[in-house]
Structure 1
Amino acid sequence: MTRATPTAELLFGEADATPISTNEATVKSWDDARTCLEAAPKAWLSTVRPDGRAHAMPVLLVWVDDAPWITTRPTSRKGRNLAGNANCVVTVGSETLDLVVEGKAVRAWDEAELLRVAAAFKAKYEWDLAVRDGSVHEDALPGSPEYGFYRITPTRAFGYGVDGLTATRWRFE
């Protein structure tokens, strides 16, 4: 699925920006944000528990088919939270950008898609995950535990420059 480039804009206007920059030249491109997501050694995933409380944990993240993907065991707190409420937030940081991506995480079941994502985890993390019968397993562990791959579809994202003075919002709708 190819997505249109999101609208990039200054996060703050003149009236509320002090000390944030209102210079249009400081708006970051989505390519900058994507590069930050692709290169991140790990990300933080925030999900919503059934009782409404937030839950945040580190996750591994890969970029496949023009989207960020994470993996977790479906029986983990993260996996159970996503099964009940797909809304989530992914955060990463780099030397040039701190990034917050709001979106929805949907578990993939298509075998071709699972194979592409497994290959991306192998390439980035040297993590061998086996795809069989529409499921993902780590055969190197006892019992070959099941994992799920979750595609994050961004709805809104925020990028902050390391200078503390620049901010960009991306809207995907």
Structure 2
Amino acid sequence: MKDPITSIDTRFSDPDAEPTSWQATQEVLENAQMTWVTTVRADGRPHVAPLVAVWLDGALHFTTGPDEQKAVNLAVNPNVVLTTGRDTWDEGVDVVVEGPAVRVTDRKTLERLAAAWRTKWDGRWVYEVGDGVFLNDVAGPALVFAVEPTKVLAFGKGTFSHTRHVPRPA
């Protein structure tokens, strides 16, 4: 998402709060060490799992094994919510990303994503690119998904703010 429409929801913000800028929101997504993904099971129950996500080209990317609950859920319902932030109530920004998860299989994109994953934490997220998947020595094949946001919420803490970022109409 580039240059989204940004607005503050005054109902849930301090009177003197300013909206969290898109740049600040994007920095949270780029620098997050841990992100939580919520998918929906076929029977409608939610499933939440922690993972390492990568922000690249306006989308948040994550991986899952083909037999993991996330992959099973996404085969039925591609809509997800990804959340990240801080576990403090008085500082930082929490971010929520909503949108459909779409499989990434293009080799060039997977190669760029594999390079981006190597920059997370201490470099231990090392993937090789296989035929439409990531490969590694530990977990086997991993499906890669991209979530181009339909909505991003940023919750500023300290001076509390509730900011909404949505894509501009095409």
TM class, shorter-length: 0.7 to 0.9
Partner of 1:103: 99
Partner of 2:13: 20
Deviation at 1:82, TM superposition (A): 1.4
Q: Deviations over 1:110-131 (max 9, x none)?
A: 0101111111111224222111
Matched, 1:120 2:113: no
SS in 1 for 2:151: strand
C-alpha contact (below 8 Å) 1:102/1:155 kept by paired residues: yes
Partner of 1:11: 9
Q: 5 Å matches for 1:155-170?
A: 155-163=150-158, 165-170=160-165
Larger radius of gyration: 1
How many angstroms apart in 1 are the aligned matches of 2:53 and 2:133?
A: 18
Q: 5 Å matches for 1:63-82?
A: 63-82=55-74
Q: 2:145 aligns with which of 150, 155, 167?
A: 150
Gaps of 5+ in 2: none
State the TM-score, normalizing by the size of structure 1. Answer: 0.86
How many angstroms apart in 2 are the aligned matches of 1:34 and 1:87?
A: 21
Partner of 2:41: 49
SS in 2 for 1:159: strand
CA RMSD in angstroms, aligned pairs only? 1.8
The alignment of Structure 1 onto Structure 2 pairs a total of residues equal to 162
C-alpha contact (below 8 Å) 2:58/2:148 kept by paired residues: no
State the TM-score, normalizing by the size of structure 2. Answer: 0.87
